[in-house]
Amino acid sequence: MRMRISRELTTIIVSIFLFVTSFIFKNISLPILIITYLLISYRIFIKVIKNLGKGIIFDENFLMVIATLGAFAIGENNEAVAVMLFYQIGEYMNDLGIDKSKESIKKLIDKRDNKVTQIKNDEEVIVNPLSLKKNDIIVIRPGERVPVDGIVVEGESNVDTSSITGESLLRNIKVNDVIYSGFVSINGILKIKVTDTYNNSLVSRILKVITDSEIDKSNTEKFITKFAKIYTPIVVISALLIFIIPSFILGQSVKVWAYRSLIFLVASCPCALVLSIPLGYFCGIGVLSKKGILVKSSGDLEMANKISSFVFDKTGTLTEGAFELLKVNPNKVSKSELISIVNYAEYYSNHPIAIPIKKAYKKKIDTKIIKNFKEKDGGISVDINNDKVLVGNYDFLKKNKIDFLRVAEEGTIIYVAKNKEYIGNIIIGDKIKKEALEVISYLKNNGYHDFAILSGDNDTSVSLVAKKLKIKEYRANLKPLDKKDYIANLKQDKKVCFVGDGINDAIVLLEANLGVSMGKIGSDVAIEASDVVIMNDNLHKIIDLIKVSKYTNKIVYQNIIFALLVKLIVLLLGVLGISTIILAVFADIGVTFITVLNSLKIFCKKM
């Protein structure tokens, strides 16, 4: 890119020198102007020829060629060269701005290193991270960046996760903790077992999403692209009519109306819209990346501005997801037996509810007696020492025809049955996140009034959270498909944002107009299913998402209105004979440059 820009800059400097020289040596000015024109415009001619081969006729390059050749034809040689020269200067400046924005975005995320210490045959060797395979062992020393995802097998360190999560607070990492590419060890030496290749690491997946976001356009971008395809041929036909009708039908000056038609062509180029709009969304995505919010496309960023309804999953989203075992209620068995049965049943489960249950059980699990483990919506069925055990919510046990009464207590209630007989329940508690009420309050104070909580938990537990967060609408005892149906129904009248944990709610995230997954850093499911991935579990990032989306859309529409307004004024002035072709160049390249700079303001805005 640097070589290309350097070559373009050299061409522009030489062309400016020749252009100025043409005014000094007036007796040979025409040959100098022709040489200057060919030097500054040959790449545009090549583009036009290539586009004609593809069937693309009406674009800004075609308009510039027609306009400048027309200027030569009517003897406006200086203006013909000036138009092409200013056009190339504008394009160069715009390229600088766009490349700068892309580079700054990639710097936010692309923290990958080209070397790492690997342990081979008990010796340390320096290798390229691309060569690493699963189960390889690498060493990360203080100040070094982790190049691949892995699990810590030795050592402890505070790590800087800011390049991924946007958080300045250090995170303590120790043995058996998962660690991701992009993290930086601050004060300890870590030995890490590689769990994924370099190209499949978290940073690489994030970069892929950012790259793909340039392809997936917003509705505004799609409209402008379609608009340009229709608009450009209309402009060419209009310019021809402006020239032909006064000159050959009304008998007025051919040269005057040819000049005015050329002004019309140059001023009407849609460059400002075509360049500044996608750049605006791209800048917004870059700002959010810096804050630890991964937006998959400009269309998703635009949608964030249109949301009218927020629907939240409860566990792990509005609540900490850090459950505690609050109560054990046995029936026809002892407390210790009930706890033992539940622990054996939950042994192979990765659900957040299983964590406090396992912590509370201090005895060793004999995995040989666990057979036929099946985790389904709402519960687990498993054989333990030839006893058929069911562990799950009320609906799960009722579906399996277990006879028992629903318990009305605060918390998440897990019912247990053995050999078709109800043997008790345990109650798990969860804390509401500190920032949950702040985020809901912010949204309410900024014009959002439609909220709901969807959860698979019991009614008592969900209603308590809803009451504390002052959310009137909630649904309990829901399966993922029930949540999906709720969102599908709500979408008929509203633009819905669903905020969930990214794993259990994958189908719901896909169903919503905007799916936002909380936490679950590095989860393939979260990145695939969500439109927006918050790289930690901080709900405050929802506020950042809304602020940046609103400001980005404001800038985009500023660009659209400004570009169209200036062009319309210059077009009218040109037809009336007041404008010059140089002013028309400003209406094209000048306006483009201004709108590009306006888009780059998104990077500077404190939000």
From the candidates 136, 313, 395, 430, which is the catalytic residue?
313
Q: Are strands 184-185 and 157-160 parallel, antiparallel or unpaired?
A: antiparallel
| Residues 6+ away with beta carbon under 8 Å from 489 | none
| Residues 6+ away with beta carbon under 8 Å from 122 | none
One-letter identity of residue 102: K
| Residues 6+ away with beta carbon under 8 Å from 515 | 497, 498, 500, 508, 509, 529, 530, 531, 532
Contact (Cβ atoms closer than 8 angstroms) between residue 33 and residue 19 = yes
Q: What is the DSSP string of 363-387?
A: SPP-GGGEEEEEEETTEEEEEETTE
For helices 219-244 and 271-290, the axis angle rounded to 10 degrees is 160
Contact (Cβ atoms closer than 8 angstroms) between residue 161 and residue 183 = yes
Q: Which two tokens stand for residue 176?
A: 């058996």
Tell me the C-alpha distance between 300 and 515, whole Å.
Answer: 9
Contact (Cβ atoms closer than 8 angstroms) between residue 266 and residue 90 = no
Contact (Cβ atoms closer than 8 angstroms) between residue 327 and residue 147 = no
The CA R_g of the chain, rounded to the nearest whole Å, is 32
Which of 576, 526, 521 lies closest to 165 in space, CA to CA?
A: 521
Tell me the C-alpha distance between 510 and 526, whole Å.
Answer: 10
For residue 404, what is the DSSP state?
-
136 catalytically annotated: no
Neighbouring-strand partners of residue 295: 532
What is the arrangement of strands in the sheet containing 324-330, beginning at the earlier edge strand?
324-330, 421-429, 412-418, 387-392, 379-384, 370-376
Judge residue 404's burial from the number of C-beta atoms within 10 Å of its C-beta, 0-12 exposed, 13-18 middle, 19 or more buried.
Answer: middle
3-state secondary structure of 82: helix
Q: Known catalytic residues?
A: 313
